[in-house]
């Protein structure tokens, strides 16, 4: 099952409160762990706070006030920047996203902001076997292809529903229970 470079969308059946209504960009998958970034949970930090933490000077009021995502509980001090791939900037058809780490912060601070930009502190790691079980038998997750509009143009508060609708799923039309035949 191909999960890398896809979106994981929590269904209403997810029991873990920290994962309810999340949309996760799956960065990588190996036999043990799925590495991703939660895309729709803003943190209490702003971009300005992140730059101060990294000792970077920056004076762009619009970007300074932008909220940083809470990408997950792992490496919360690491700034991860999700942005359009270089090919996507040149080609109007969506090719995907890239992840940059703290080094990109300095580029942004000097005015070299990439197209499509989400800034996150931390990432999420999920056990591969458990996730596959939750996908196959528990109906906890939906898998969607990357969608530029959902990732970069949808407000965080609407992303969960928009991601599901991008694959034809309307959570308002689903029963609140699941079963197995």
Give residue limits of the domains in the chain.
6-173
Q: 14-18, 52-56, 60-64, 158-162: which has the minimum mean pLDDT?
A: 60-64
Q: What is the mean pLDDT of residues 108-122?
A: 78
pTM for this model (two decimals):
0.84
Encode burial over 123-155: b for 16+ CB neighbours within 10 A, e otherwise.
Answer: bbebeeeebbebbeebbbbbebebbbebbbebe
The answer to whether the beta carbons of residues 10 and 21 sit under 8 Å apart is yes
Q: Which two tokens stand for residue 8?
A: 């994981």
The DSSP letter of residue 139 is: -
Helix (H/G/I), strand (E/B), else coil: 169: coil
Q: Which of 41, 36, 42 is nearest to 8 (CA)?
A: 36
Work out the mean pLDDT of the chain and round it to a whole number. Answer: 82
6-173: which CATH topology? VC0467-like (3.40.1740)
């Amino acid at each position: 099952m191909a999960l890398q470079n896809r979106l994981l969308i929590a269904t209403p059946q997810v029991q873990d409160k920290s994962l309810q209504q999340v949309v996760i960009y799956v960065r990588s998958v190996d036999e043990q762990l799925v590495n991703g970034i939660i895309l729709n949970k803003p943190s209490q930090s702003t971009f300005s706070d992140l730059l101060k933490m990294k000792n970077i000077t920056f004076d762009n009021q619009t970007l300074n006030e932008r909220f940083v995502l809470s990408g997950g509980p792992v490496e919360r001090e690491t700034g991860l920047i999700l942005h359009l791939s270089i090919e996507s900037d040149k080609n109007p058809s969506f090719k995907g996203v890239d992840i940059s780490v703290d080094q990109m912060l300095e580029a942004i601070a000097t005015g070299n902001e990439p197209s499509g930009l989400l800034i996150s502190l931390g990432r999420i790691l999920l056990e591969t076997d458990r996730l596959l079980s939750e996908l196959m038998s528990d109906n906890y997750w939906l898998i969607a292809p990357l969608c530029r509009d959902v990732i970069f143009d949808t407000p965080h508060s609407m992303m969960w529903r928009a991601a599901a609708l991008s694959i034809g799923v309307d959570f308002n039309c689903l029963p609140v229970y699941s079963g197995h035949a």
